[in-house]
Amino acid sequence: MLNYYAQTPIMTPSQLKRLDGHKYNCTNEWNTVIQWTPMWVAPNAITMIGLIVNILTSLILMYFCPTAKEPCPRWAALLCGFGLFIYQTLDAIDGKQARRTNTISPMGELFDHGCDSVSTVFVSIASSCVVSLGHYPYSLMLQCFLASFLFYSAHWQTYVTGTMRFGKFDVTEGQMSVMAMMFITAIFGPQIWDISVIGVSFRYLPSMFAFTMGCIAFLGILNKISDGGVGRNGSTVAGTSIIAPVIHIGAVLLSGLYVAKYSVEDIFENNPIIFVILFGLMATKVTNKLIVAHMSKSEIWNPYDLSFLVPLVFFANRKMSAKIPETYLLTLGLIFISVDLYFYSSAICMEICNHMRLHLFKITDKSKKSE
């Protein structure tokens, strides 16, 4: 895999050239006090620190809730809530830091959104664990897959219209809702989600709310996409079909649903956390490919995506009546997807940094860059 990414450039010279002219167009902006942040700290380093904290605190919570059925410790919910708060705060100030240090670049936008796509997976799973949604496994799948789909759809709309637009209830509001769930659990205990009113369990309420707001958000996105793109004849920024991007995220989520439904060992029901992380990271990769396609004004299509080998192995194992336990395949698949996503992301970052003469985690000296 390392040789594959080392010897096969992901971006063509024409894509890198178009990347030079990319500008981040956004209709909303954070205004956060950042005076205490040293000028020598790179914006991408701020984002990465926040993501690491977010992932670690989420993994701690998942450790105590491996099937999302176990009551989570109050301190773990509190820690996870603070971890998300730290990520949200650092994610908000990285752009401000880039402006302060005059280091705004397409690399920063890609890195920021790439970290957001990873965070979306872990936040959605952590929120499922805190309310023990594993008692209703397909509700857990719906919530987590919906989060990845909506994040992808936001960038699908950007790929079509050329502008990132935020709704009234978007990523920030979603993160704040999850933090509220974490802090409620920390204060009142996980048993609060066992309460039922008119026959409806409290643990269903966050999912119902997320599903309702998600549908509203998607209808807004779909409306913007249906208006046509900024390209020729209403096409995308790359001059391609405005519908085609849905194929990629659809392939990921439908393959996940297929593996879960036709598993002979019920691997999803028995290992929901590992399962959703695996397919969530697959969704992260296709989302990052879409972001790169938008920024470089190019097609997203790539028939040689290594991550799709995982569902193909599950399919072949079932059809050929192989004796490989699906639990082993699930664990190996998660490792493979994680490594593949890491090498893909690293290769993209290195190619862009080399082209633009940037350092990913260090402030670049402008005078040296121009030499």
Which positions are annotated as active-site residues?
A: 113
Question: Which residues on adjacent β-strands are paired with residue 201?
Answer: 196
**The Cα angle at residue 301 between residues 297 and 302, in degrees rounded to 5:** 120
Question: Which residues on adjacent β-strands are paired with residue 359?
Answer: 362
Residue 72 in contact with residue 129, Cβ under 8 Å? Answer: yes
Residue 79 in contact with residue 256, Cβ under 8 Å? Answer: no
Longest Cα separation, the chain:
70
32 is written with which tokens? Answer: 């956060």
How far apart are the C-alpha atoms of 84 and 57, rounded to whole Å?
Answer: 8
203 is written with which tokens? Answer: 């643990």
Single-letter residue type at 358: L
Closest Cα to residue 172, out of 102, 115, 120?
120
Alpha-carbon Rg of the chain, whole angstroms? 21
What is the residue-wise DSSP string for 15-47?
Answer: HHHHHHT----BS-------TTS-TTS-HHHHH
